[in-house]
């Protein structure tokens, strides 16, 4: 079974530029998550989708971050304009059920963003 | 506000020794407590998990101890091996779906 795919793996941009990350979850997984992992910290949820609807985006900085999940499969996370503090690894995860306490989250390898 | 507090930040253990990582939480709505293992350049992967209705869960060399009244839980790695060297995250989730992660413990097992 293929895992969660993410691209690009690495991205370096200047502040105020824009960047987009792509995620393809495990086939059949209805729930998709984007987490931000700053160096030395645990992952923090940015947004959670159930199929193509948003379940939780309370921690998403909506003035600069946006995310969509078209057709309930692939997802894109965009940052525009980027700030220095956005330097982090952006992790995509998927789950076959809505509630993670009835199953586990499957994480991709992440997209490492460096903002100069 | 850190929902789940984890310690220590880093841990060095001799091969064959016991590694112990501790976590504490405040939110009594949390009802699932997983531990994730993360190797450099990889995403976190579920290692072991426990629900609050049991005090201990063991899977191979990995054991979770859970103290509901103290709102604390810990991961014990018995007979630690160099291959266990990784960052370990405790986490907790309430009925609202979100996983709250601790700050992580970098474990180094010395051969």
Over residues A12-26, mean pLDDT: 97
Determine contact: B49 vs chain A, CB below 8 A.
yes
List of chain A residues whose C-beta atoms are within 8 Å of the C-beta of residue B4: 42
pLDDT for the residue B8: 97
Residue range A102-113, pLDDT digits in tens: 558 899 999 999
Residue range A22-78, pLDDT digits in tens: 999 999 888 899 999 999 899 999 999 988 899 889 999 999 999 999 888 999 999
Residue range B6-16, pLDDT digits in tens: 999 999 999 99
pLDDT(A99) > 70: no
Over residues B93-111, mean pLDDT: 87
Furthest-apart CA atoms within chain A: distance in Å: 41
Q: What is the pLDDT confidence band of residue A96, given thresholds at 50, 70 and 90?
A: confident
pLDDT for the residue A51: 86
pLDDT(B95) > 90: no
Determine contact: B3 vs chain A, CB below 8 A.
no
Q: What is the pLDDT confidence band of residue B98, given thresholds at 50, 70 and 90?
A: confident
Over residues A85-92, mean pLDDT: 97
Q: What is the pLDDT confidence band of residue B1, given thresholds at 50, 70 and 90?
A: low
pLDDT for the residue A70: 82
Whether A92 contacts A59, CB under 8 Å: no
DSSP letters of chain A? ----EEE-SEEEE-TT--EEEEEE--TT--EEEEEEE-TTS--EEEEEEETTEEEE-TTS-TTTEEEE-GGGS-EEEEESS--GGG-EEEEEEEESSS-GGGS--EE---EEEEE-
Alpha-carbon span B53 to B13, nearest angstrom: 31
Nearest-CB residue to A107 (from B43, B49, B95): B43
**Residue B46, min C-alpha distance to chain A (Å):** 7
**Residue B54, min C-alpha distance to chain A (Å):** 15
List of chain B residues whose C-beta atoms are within 8 Å of the C-beta of residue A44: 101
């Amino acid at each position: 079974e293929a895992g969660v795919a993410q691209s690009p793996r690495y991205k370096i941009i200047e502040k105020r530029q824009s960047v987009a990350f792509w995620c393809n979850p495990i086939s059949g997984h209805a729930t998709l998550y984007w987490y931000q992992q700053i160096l030395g910290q645990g992952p923090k949820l940015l947004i959670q989708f159930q199929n193509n609807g948003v379940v939780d985006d309370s921690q998403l900085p909506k003035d600069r971050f946006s995310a969509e999940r078209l057709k309930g499969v692939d997802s894109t996370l965009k940052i525009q304009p980027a700030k220095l503090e956005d330097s982090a690894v952006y992790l995509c995860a998927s789950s076959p059920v809505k509630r993670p306490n009835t199953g586990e989250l499957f994480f991709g390898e992440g997209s490492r963003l460096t903002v100069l | 506000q850190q929902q789940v507090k984890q310690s220590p930040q880093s841990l060095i253990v001799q091969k064959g020794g016991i590694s112990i990582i501790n976590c504490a939480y405040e939110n009594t709505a949390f009802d699932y407590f997983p531990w994730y293992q993360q190797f450099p350049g990889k995403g976190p992967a579920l290692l072991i998990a426990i629900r609050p209705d049991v005090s201990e869960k063991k899977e191979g060399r990995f054991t979770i101890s859970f103290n509901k009244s103290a709102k604390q839980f810990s991961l014990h790695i018995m007979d630690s091996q160099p291959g266990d060297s990784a960052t370990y995250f405790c986490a907790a989730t309430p009925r609202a779906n979100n996983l709250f992660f601790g700050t992580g413990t970098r474990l180094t097992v010395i051969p």
